[in-house]
Amino acid sequence: MNTPLLTRGAKSTRLFGLWLPLLVIILWTIFAIVGPFLPIAPDHINLTHILMPPGAQAILGADDLGRSLAARVLAGSQTSFIVACWVVMISSVMGTVIGTLGAYLGGKWDLVLIRIIDIFLAVPGILLAIALAGILGPGIENVVIALSIVGWVGYARLARSQVLSLKHREHVQAAIALGAGTRRIVFRHLIPLIMAPLIVEASFGVAGIVIAEAGLSFLGLGVQPPEASWGSMIRDGAQYLLVAPHMVIVPGVALMLVVLSINLLGDRLRDKLDVRRQPS
């Protein structure tokens, strides 16, 4: 009797769980790509707009130097996008290759890989990233290096577990019997079969990297002034929280929307690529 109502509710849930997060991610990507070509000045200081709340003269308000928060949020989206893309690409490739080779070769190679993974997992990832960023120094390049060194472990662990269940399959044994080398077996017969879980891992990894970059910038270990980052914007606005809360709310909401949207899309992608949940 309530079937139409339930159907409309299910459609609304799917709309919120797919299209709205997808729209946020598309806007984030577009702003990050075309941001440098837009007629905005995120570093322009206007002393008459200091701590100005959102209004007609400043859509999202201004910070303690009179800079437009809207322009700085757009510039910060470019920072988070660049860091997320580079870190995911480097860490996923490095972790997948290392984990696959360790599991396929087995023996002492696999044992060494397990010990290295255990060492990395014994230290909280964000603390290790903070330590590496402190050693390397501030800057977007060093943030990418630090987060990549920390991030490859998850991909290696996942790739290893998947390859351990695949390397004894018939098609792999047939390739070995036909004289295929390790390189061909790894890149033609193993890695293509484990791409689905790795893609899901990468989708969730993007959200973690965006938060990690914001955290490092909040601590002063990320991009340096006058470059914009959502983390550094929140740090600068924290001291004006009582008189100008928009300085924290604007970058905080942008960070929350992007991370939440990535996680929601990651959940949908995981459900889509999980063959065990598909009807037979």
What's the confidence (pLDDT) of residue 279? 42
How many Cβ atoms from other residues are within 10 Å of residue 82's Cβ?
A: 16
Burial class (CB in 10 A: 0-12, 13-18, 19+), 176: middle
What contacts 252, CB < 8 A, 6 or more positions away? 230, 234
pLDDT at site 8: 52
Residue 4: pLDDT over 80: no
pLDDT number for residue 28? 92
Query: What does the pLDDT read at residue 88?
Result: 94
How would residue 91 be classed by pLDDT, with cut points 50, 70 and 90? Answer: very high
Q: What percentage of the chain has pLDDT greater than the value 70?
A: 91
237-262 residue pLDDT tens: 999 988 989 999 999 999 999 999 99
Is residue 34 pLDDT above 70, yes or no?
yes
Any idea how long the chain is?
Answer: 280
pLDDT in tens, 141-154: 899 999 999 999 99
In the chain, the domains with their CATH numbers are: 65-246 (1.10.3720.10)
pTM: 0.85
Task: Using the CB atoms, write b or e for 9-33: b if 16+ within 10 Å.
Answer: eeeeeeeeeeeebeebbeebeebbe
Per-residue pLDDT, 268 = 85
Q: Is the pLDDT of residue 96 over 80?
A: yes
Work out the pLDDT band at 169, boundaries 50, 70, 90. confident
Q: Residue holding tokens 């002034």?
A: 225
Q: How far apart are CA 166 and CA 33, in angstroms?
A: 39
Residue 41 — pLDDT band, cuts 50, 70, 90? confident
- Which stretch of 29-33, 180-184, 214-218 has the lowest confidence by average pLDDT? 180-184
